[in-house]
A and B are shown apart, each in its own frame.
Chain A
Amino acid sequence: DTGVSQNPRHKITKRGQNVTFRCDPISEHNRLYWYRQTLGQGPEFLTYFQNEAQLEKSRLLSDRFSAERPKGSFSTLEIQRTEQGDSAMYLCASSYPQPGPSYEQYFGPGTRLTVT
């Protein structure tokens, strides 16, 4: 098991372009999370999947953002009509239900987006 992987690791795009990021969770992890982290801040929750179902979305996730997990394995996060304020690190994490109320999350290396 190689852990959570994300592609690309870096993306530079011009304002107004669309971008898509991919996250491959740890095998058999049925929960997948997307977070966004801006410079000097802690990550902020964007959305969460259990298997292929998107169960929760943050208000941060405007209508320009869409996330999918079609087969309950990898997930994609698309940003349409990018704005400079979208520049951030986009982090993916996965977890597997364990006994008890707590679920350890394993993070990927992140995709750093720069919108020029």
Chain B
Amino acid sequence: KNEVEQSPQNLTAQEGEFITINCSYSVGISALHWLQQHPGGGIVSLFMLSSGKKKHGRLIATINIQEKHSSLHITASHPRDSAVYICAVRSTGTASKLTFGTGTRLQVTL
């Protein structure tokens, strides 16, 4: 079992829909990251959080440390949101390395 599990693996939505991507992890963490990866490979950090909730534009990330679960929400989705969204955690006791989920491929259609 992977230390970081994401669901769903693939997601297709119509423009304007509310989207939720889930991440569960099995280790103690000091931080959780949500990353966005577009075709071609470049990775952009969306959020880094260790508790509560963060919001940036149409994106919202929440984390429940007790339940070892995080969600990424996209409100009013748009085709330009189409990308792979990756959850990554920094385990407590490790120097700095991240452990990644396999990603959720999101396709938003018109």
Q: A42-B86, A42-B101, A56-B95 are in contact. Are A101 and B30 (CB under 8 A)?
A: yes
- In the complex, chain A residues 29-52 whose Cβ is within 8 Å of any chain B Cβ: 31, 33, 35, 37, 40-45, 48, 50
B92 to A, closest residue via Cβ: A101
* Count of chain A residues near B, Cβ 8 A: 29
Q: Closest Cβ of chain B: how far from A4's Cβ, in Å?
A: 10
**Interface residue tally of chain B, by bracket?**
20 to 34
Q: Are A95 and B100 in contact (CB under 8 A)?
A: no
Q: A42-B88, A101-B31, A107-B43 are in contact. Are A33 and B48 (CB under 8 A)?
A: no
Q: Are A104 and B30 in contact (CB under 8 A)?
A: no
Find chain A residues with CB under 8 A from B31 CB. Answer: 101-102
Describe A's contact surface by its main secondary structure: strand
CB of A91 within 8 Å of the partner chain: yes
CB of A80 within 8 Å of the partner chain: no
Q: A33-B97, A45-B97 are in contact. Are A106 and B45 (CB under 8 A)?
A: yes
Bound complex: CA of A42 vs CA of B86, how far in Å? 7
Contact with A along B34-63 (1 / 0, CB 8 A): 010000111111001010000000000000
Find chain A residues with CB under 8 A from B97 CB. Answer: 33, 45, 48, 56
Q: Are B102 and A91 in contact (CB under 8 A)?
A: no
Extra inter-chain contacts (9) besides given A42-B100, A89-B41, A104-B48, CB under 8 Å: A35-B98, A43-B43, A45-B99, A48-B95, A48-B96, A102-B50, A103-B96, A108-B42, A112-B41
Taking Cβ atoms with an 8 Å cutoff, the residues of B that contact A are: 4, 30-31, 33, 35, 40-45, 48, 50, 86, 88, 90, 92, 95-103
A-B contact pairs, 14 of them (CB 8 A): A33-B98, A35-B98, A35-B100, A43-B43, A43-B98, A44-B100, A48-B96, A48-B97, A50-B95, A101-B31, A105-B96, A107-B42, A110-B41, A110-B43
